[in-house]
Amino acid sequence: MTDAPDTSRISFTAHYTGHVWRRHGLGDAALATWQGQVLFGALTPFNKLGNRLQPGLNLEAMLLQRHRIIDALLEQAITGGATQVVEIAAGLSPRGLRFTRRHPDLHYLEFDLPGMAARKERLLSRVSDRSPRHLVTSGNALAADGEQSIAGRIATLLDPTAPTVVITEGLINYFPVEQAQQIWGHIVAGLKRARWGVYLSDIAHTPGGFRGAWLIRLFRQVLETTTRGATHFHFDSTDETRQALLDAGFNEATIHSPEDWRDRLELPPSPPQPLVHVIEARVSQDG
């Protein structure tokens, strides 16, 4: 087995997103943490300033857009026959609880670095109606092989041949392009034996030069200081992202803009250029 790098420096950001999900009725009381509340308070001035500069120019709006679109695409995949979900870097996401309550037969595997996985397991163990099919496992999305890898966990904890959805949310932009592409390759490898598989993820592109875009640069600096590492915009356009997914081995890829979903979902406004898009990429045995 190859040694995967330790990227736990970003794990604490899951407390912030966890708090946002809960604030907007997506979360579960069992997943609330005091760290989430503190981080949310600390970033409130950014969000308020962004809203004043440009409607939709704030972190909370971006997070809600990505979470709700991924939820809608996941629901679509389950309706289409997917029976299992692997949420990589799940953090304190309540999606596993929501979807296993809604779909009692669904197998849902949360996959995160050991510290966050242990915390999530502790929090979920207090949920009285937790589904027996809702599991948490430790793993590393950067592991190329071995039991801690995506393919390793799918092979041992799920049915590797069943139609499967793999999700990454709030992960990809923390990694340089080479590592992001490695993760995509590992997901393709994990889905190789499945009849078909869908990959869902948010991705932020290089921001355009609209009014207030300086706030994104400032926020990025704060995020990079607190997570002690860089964040990365890999691609300038959705076409480049699509091509990179095909290069990683997916057979099809669609990049969704929040604007495509505005008539179907309750979404906060976007700045003139959306800050976040959602990837829907597919692999299937028939190619």
Ligand X SMILES: C[S@@+](CC[C@H](N)C(=O)[O-])C[C@H]1O[C@@H](n2cnc3c(N)ncnc32)[C@H](O)[C@@H]1O
- Binding-site ranges for ligand X (CB under 6 A): 7-8, 10-11, 13-14, 17-18, 88-91, 93, 112-113, 116, 140-142, 169-171
Give me the least distance between CB of 183 and ligand X, in Å please.
8
Q: Give the CA diameter of the chain.
A: 50
C-beta closer to ligand X: residue 141 or 275: 141
C-beta closer to ligand X: residue 107 or 186: 186
Give me the least distance between CB of 234 and ligand X, in Å please.
16
Q: Give me the residue whose beta carbon is nearest to ligand X.
A: 91
C-beta closer to ligand X: residue 221 or 243: 221
Residues 113-145, buried b or exposed e (16+ Cβ, 10 A)? beebbebbeebbeeeeebbebbbbbbbbbbbbe
- Across 157-251, the runs of DSSP E, i.e. the strands, are 164-168, 196-203
Give me the least distance between CB of 95 and ligand X, in Å please.
8
C-beta closer to ligand X: residue 93 or 270: 93
Give me the least distance between CB of 88 and ligand X, in Å please.
6
Give me the least distance between CB of 14 and ligand X, in Å please.
4
Name the residue among 160, 169, 180 with its Cα closest to residue 283: 160
Residues 168-185, buried b or exposed e (16+ Cβ, 10 A)? bbbbbbbbeeebbbbbbb
C-beta closer to ligand X: residue 136 or 196: 136
Question: Quick count: other Cβ atoms within 10 Å of Cβ 285?
Answer: 13
